[in-house]
Amino acid sequence: CGQGKYSAVSATGCTDCATGKYSAATAAACTACEAGKSQGSTGQSTCGDCVQGKYSGGTGATACTDCEAGKYQSNTGTASCLDCGQGKYSAVSATGCTQCSAGKYQANTGQTSCTDCEAG
């Protein structure tokens, strides 16, 4: 069988690998995409890295997941997102965190907004 297909031991033909899996030529089985990668099409020979702002935490992903608000990921092919640090925040699918503007603060990590400073 060619790449992206497999043939079970007793099979008479080749079958496309399912989404979330891939194979090299002459494979007896398909392999699940590793964490940090995904494959949304059948019959593929590779899995693609998750782009910045997304992740895939487990194997066999058919699509990468957006980082939650308050988290970010600046690298590709990752299995998780990171919390924004104190004094910063982020929206969904962030590739980095935004510094709180003058007159605002954020004392916690992993936040989606900043708080106004008290007058004085």
pLDDT at res. 9: 76
pLDDT along the chain (120 residues), means of 10: 86 91 89 98 97 97 98 98 98 98 97 92
Specify the pTM. Answer: 0.87
Across the chain, mean pLDDT equals 95
For residue 91 the two structure tokens come to: 């929206």
Residues 6+ apart with CB under 8 A from 60: 20, 21, 32, 33
pLDDT at res. 92: 97
Residues 6+ apart with CB under 8 A from 105: 87, 114, 115, 117
Q: How far apart are CA 91 and CA 76, in angstroms?
A: 18
